[in-house]
């Protein structure tokens, strides 16, 4: 009996079964560990991934917004595609002259299908190598055993993928599940769907904006003339871009047209505070002038981290920075640190205002300009602050209160992608002109520029301050077309 038991336990068939099962285990483990492929489909960078999981599903991962999941098959396999990047300039370039975006999408799908074949080939290669490893592990190193186990690995992969495809339910994609931020705001899908449909129109409207700006540059000399001075510094105040790539094009043209020395952005570059959104406006890195950024309530530490990598960007998080003869202080919105809600309450804003005031009082030297996102944390302005610039409300304007000038740039992104098609919301910026008097810079004038992209209309309003002609008062002049 004992000999028979040993024969059953250690016989050739038992060894073959053990080898087969071990090979399958190694193949499955290898697929889980190494089953991924980085690929590009046009302007979209994706990472494909194979893993085991129940129930079987397909996932689109948009970090860190969340995931879109679909119960697409019955096999215990999770197929994931992670969106790593969107090359928006490339997307715009490829859509130039495209009238039917469905044809463009079809070309992307063909490219995606080719990459899926490569992904399948890699999985088969992993399966074959795992089979070889299993054979080596058990000492089965004869050529016949090696190729047989490699074949077992490849066939196992084909069987798994074939099983997934055989029961793949395409109709399941009509009822996706959202997790993370996407559960309450599936903006990524609407961005792709609406953006692709409207990008040709969007590019045409952007050309109209450029034409309007050329008219703005010509009209500026008809406004209230400024005294001829030396050492003028031009600071462009922008705010609330909200993921609109047209805003950076707008900023770029204003910089070139007016000879801007410095850009200050008072926040809300993004909507959800993700690095993926920051990629939509990465041309900031190529503006050619310093770009001071004050985080808004829609920004985040992740956005700040990404912007710090740009060579021309200085992130102003509770700091004082000297440049172009100006001493500038930047104070971030408390929501940008992630320690409070998206819309901080009055108590939180009051506490932030007190902290700001204490910081200013402890600072040495004169501060020419205080930049914040939400004006509430700088109202009233700390003692000695002659100028406060801000955004948040999307309402451009200039006010003088208790000796302090408040400037709101409005929304340079025309309320962002969500504002596309709204004719009442302009792209707006404020151009601050500083003059050097007796060794000190003073704000001499502000040019408030509004451009309505859908109808080509523009409004240019100049406010003159601290001029001898009006003894330090305010004089407004306006150009409109």
Which residues, other chains included, contact 266 with Cβ-Cβ below 8 Å and sequence gap of 6+?
237, 238, 239, 240, 294, 296, 371, 372, 373, 389, 390, 391, 392, 409
Neighbours of 478 (CB within 10 A): 12
pLDDT reported for residue 472: 47
CA dist., res. 330 & res. 390, Å (int): 10
| pLDDT in the model for residue 232 | 86
- Domain 223-480 fold is Purple Acid Phosphatase; chain A, domain 2 (3.60.21)
Long-range CB contacts for residues 327-330, cutoff 8 Å, separation at least 24: 327/365, 327/366, 327/367, 327/368, 327/369, 328/264, 328/292, 328/367, 328/368, 328/369, 328/370, 328/371, 329/360, 329/363, 329/367, 329/369, 329/370, 329/371, 330/292, 330/293, 330/294, 330/371, 330/372
pLDDT per position in the chain (481 positions), as tens? 445 444 444 456 666 677 678 778 888 888 889 999 998 887 888 899 999 988 889 998 877 667 888 898 889 999 999 888 777 667 767 766 666 667 777 787 788 888 889 999 999 999 889 888 877 776 666 777 788 888 888 999 999 999 998 888 888 877 888 776 566 445 545 554 555 455 555 555 555 555 556 666 666 655 555 555 445 899 999 999 988 877 888 899 889 888 999 999 999 998 877 776 777 788 899 999 999 999 999 898 888 998 999 999 999 999 999 999 999 999 999 988 865 556 777 888 899 999 999 999 888 888 999 999 999 999 888 888 999 999 999 999 999 998 899 999 999 988 876 666 566 788 899 999 999 888 889 999 999 999 886 566 778 888 988 644 444 455 565 556 5
Q: Where are the domains of the chain?
A: 2-185, 223-480
Those residues whose C-beta lies under 8 Å from the C-beta of residue 274, and which sit 6 or more positions away, are 63, 64, 65, 300, 302, 303
* 374 neighbors 297 (Cβ within 8 angstroms): yes
């Amino acid at each position: 009996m004992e000999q028979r038991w040993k024969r059953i336990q250690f016989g050739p068939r038992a060894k073959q079964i053990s080898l087969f099962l071990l090979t399958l285990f190694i193949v499955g483990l290898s697929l889980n560990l190494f089953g991924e492929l980085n690929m590009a489909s046009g302007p979209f960078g994706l990472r494909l991934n194979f893993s085991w999981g129940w129930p079987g599903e397909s996932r689109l991962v948009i970090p860190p917004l969340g995931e879109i999941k679909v119960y697409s098959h019955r096999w215990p396999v999770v197929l994931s595609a992670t969106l790593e990047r969107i090359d928006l300039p490339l997307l715009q370039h490829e859509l130039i002259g495209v009238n039917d975006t469905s044809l463009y999408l079809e070309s992307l799908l063909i490219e995606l299908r080719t990459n899926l074949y490569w992904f399948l080939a890699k999985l088969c290669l992993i399966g074959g190598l795992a089979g070889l490893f299993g054979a080596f592990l058990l000492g089965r190193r004869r050529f016949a055993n090696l190729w047989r186990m490699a074949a077992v690995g490849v066939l196992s992969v084909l069987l798994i993928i074939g099983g997934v495809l055989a029961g793949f339910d395409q109709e399941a994609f009509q009822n996706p599940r959202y997790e993370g931020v996407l559960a309450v705001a599936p903006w990524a899908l609407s961005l792709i769907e609406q953006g692709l449909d409207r990008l040709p129109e969007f590019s045409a409207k952007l050309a109209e904006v450029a034409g309007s700006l050329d008219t703005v540059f010509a009209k500026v000399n008809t406004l209230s003339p400024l005294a001829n001075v030396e050492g003028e510094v031009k600071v462009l105040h922008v705010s609330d871009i909200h993921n609109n790539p047209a805003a950076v094009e707008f900023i770029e043209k204003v910089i070139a047209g007016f000879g801007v020395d410095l850009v200050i952005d008072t926040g809300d570059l993004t909507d959800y505070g993700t690095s993926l959104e920051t990629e939509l406006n990465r041309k900031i890195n190529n503006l050619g002038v310093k770009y001071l950024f004050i985080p808004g309530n829609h920004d985040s530490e992740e956005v700040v981290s990404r912007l710090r990598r740009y060579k021309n960007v200085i992130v102003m998080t509770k700091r004082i920075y000297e440049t172009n003869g100006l001493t500038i202080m930047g104070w971030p919105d408390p929501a940008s640190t992630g320690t409070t809600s998206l819309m901080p309450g009055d108590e939180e804003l009051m506490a932030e205002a007190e902290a700001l005031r204490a910081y200013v009082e402890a600072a040495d030297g004169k501060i020419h300009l205080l930049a914040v996102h939400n004006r509430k944390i700088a109202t009233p302005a700390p003692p000695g602050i002659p100028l406060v610039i801000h955004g948040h409300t999307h309402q451009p304007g200039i006010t003088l209160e208790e000796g302090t000038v408040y400037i709101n740039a409005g929304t340079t992104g025309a309320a962002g992608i969500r504002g596309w098609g709204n004719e009442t919301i302009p792209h707006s910026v404020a151009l601050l002109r500083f003059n050097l008097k007796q060794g000190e810079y003073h704000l001499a004038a502000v040019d408030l520029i509004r451009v309505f992209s859908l109808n080509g209309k523009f409004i240019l309003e100049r406010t003159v301050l601290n001029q001898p002609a009006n003894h330090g008062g305010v004089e407004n002049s306006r150009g409109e077309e």
